[in-house]
Amino acid sequence: MSPVPTRQQVLFLYLASSALDTRVVAWSSYDGAGEGPTPPVEADPTPPYATGVDALRDGWRLLQASPLQRHLPGHERDTDFLLHEFIFERLVETTTT
Amino acid sequence: MAIAPDPSDLLTTAEMAHFVTHGYLAFPSVVPEEINEAAVAAFEPTGALDMLRAKPDSGTPLADLYPDPSPVGAMLRLPRVQGIIESLVGLDAVYDHDWVHTREPGDLADQHLHQDAIIDTTLAFDIQIFWFPRAVEARSGGTGFVPGSHLRQVNEFEIARYQNIVGQQDFVGPAGSVVVFHQGMWHRGRANHSGDRRWLYKIRLNPTTPQVRRWNLADFDAVHGRPSDHIFASYDLNSAAQQFRTPEPWFEMAASRLETVNRSRLWRYVTGDGHFDADWYLSRTEGREQLDQRAG
């Protein structure tokens, strides 16, 4: 019996702090099993989860978390990118081979 | 030579504080319908191929842009628009560039989030005037933007990965609306689910002289407040400091106070008050820095 083909879904959650149980402030998703425009059109942009832990409890596997980095001398107070990025994945079965 | 705007057409101090805090100001229906329709008629022949439209040279003084008869010139010379420009960059500003952006009906691809031009490191700022000559309904291609993102130092499409941010907005408004953005605003063209083309005329202006207290100062003392305004000491809920300490819903906990400092530094620039502070962050650290310097 051949294995069922799978595709990867990826979820980026940006949290209010480095703790996985703090609230979601931004998010993105890419669906390797889906079709349609990328990035997906969000008609009603409501966060998919309240916190990162909620995503874990729904079956998402954590792939990567933003490291806590030393601040660059002279730029300690600069703000730029969203600080706390957590990348999740899950595999979904597909009929596509 | 430009005529000084009537004080009633200038921004108020409260509006300036809003701009410093959130990076934009919106003015619904400031352009009359005849100018809006003349603009659409002028833009129709080239549409999205705006490089084919006759344009000024970068660096052209504002006063020399689009002489009459011109719907763009008529918009720029409206007393209210002149007052807004004077307040933010001065009527001695120069033309950077402009562009007509269209979103075709049924175009469901969202543009990636970005800042325009390149990463900026100055307190001095450009403005980008977004003029919507036709009404924009919800889900009809209104420009998406992220209030409070203008002081984050990122470079153009580096932020394309961010699809949704809590508190993001899409422009919705009547014909003739103008939104003025700080050049650092994160923004994108949005999907157009409607059956109508969305029109947007966008012009970027560069200041040539300091952007200090050019607005209507009638409410200055009430809004500017005291440098000792501190949420953990004594404070005034009607002050600019109150706006600066209020985080956007997407600010991370650790970045929120840094954004208060970013806003305070920009407020120092536009007010010319090097002692302004909100919550004592600048005063505290500047005092210690002076001690460090004395110690050698």
């919106």: which residue's tokens? B26
Interface test mutation site (partner A, options B192, B252, B279, B292, max chain A beta carbons within 10 A): B252
In a domain, A62, yes or no: yes
Q: Mind listing the pLDDT tens digit for each residue in A3-17?
A: 889 999 999 999 999
Q: How confident is the model at residue A2 (pLDDT cuts 50, 70, 90)?
A: confident
d(CA A94, CA A11): 18
pLDDT value of residue A94: 87
Grouped pLDDT means (10 residues each) for chain B, 296 residues: 88 98 98 98 94 95 97 98 98 98 92 94 97 96 96 96 94 98 97 95 98 98 94 93 97 97 98 97 94 88
pLDDT value of residue B3: 82
pLDDT value of residue A4: 87
Work out the end-to-end distance of chain B between its first and last CA atoms, rounded to an integer number of angstroms. 51
Q: How confident is the model at residue A36 (pLDDT cuts 50, 70, 90)?
A: confident
pLDDT value of residue B296: 75
pLDDT > 70 in chain A, percent: 90
Host domain of residue A18: 6-70+79-93
Domains of chain B plus CATH, in order, are: 7-206 (2.60.120.620), 225-295 (no CATH)
What is the amino acid identity at position B129?
I
d(CA B21, CA B266): 9
Domain count, chain A: 1
In a domain, A1, yes or no: no
**pLDDT mean across residues, chain A:** 91
pLDDT value of residue A1: 67
- Which residues are within 8 A (CB) of B10 and not within 5 positions of it... i.e. 6 or more apart? B83, B84, B86, B87, B214, B215, B216
Please check whether residue A74 touches B, CB under 8 A: no
3-state secondary structure string across B70-127: CHHHHHHCCHHHHHHHHHHCCCCCEEEEEEEEEECCCCCCCCCCECCCCCCCCCCCCE
* CA distances, B92 to each of B74, B233, B266, B267, B275 (Å): 17, 42, 20, 21, 28
pLDDT value of residue A40: 63
A42 contacts on B by Cβ (under 8 Å): 163-164
Interface test mutation site (partner B, options A51, A79, A84, max chain B beta carbons within 10 A): A79
Token readout for B247 is 């985080």
ipTM of the complex: 0.94
In a domain, A40, yes or no: yes
Mean pLDDT of A23-41: 84
The alpha-helical segments, DSSP class H, found in A15-90 are: 52-57
A81 contacts on B by Cβ (under 8 Å): 152, 154, 158-159
Query: Which residues does B contribute to its contact with A (CB < 8 Å)?
Result: 108-110, 112, 139, 151-154, 158-159, 161-166, 168, 191, 249-255, 258-259, 261-262
pLDDT value of residue B222: 95
Residue of B nearest to A27 (CA): B164
pLDDT value of residue B1: 55
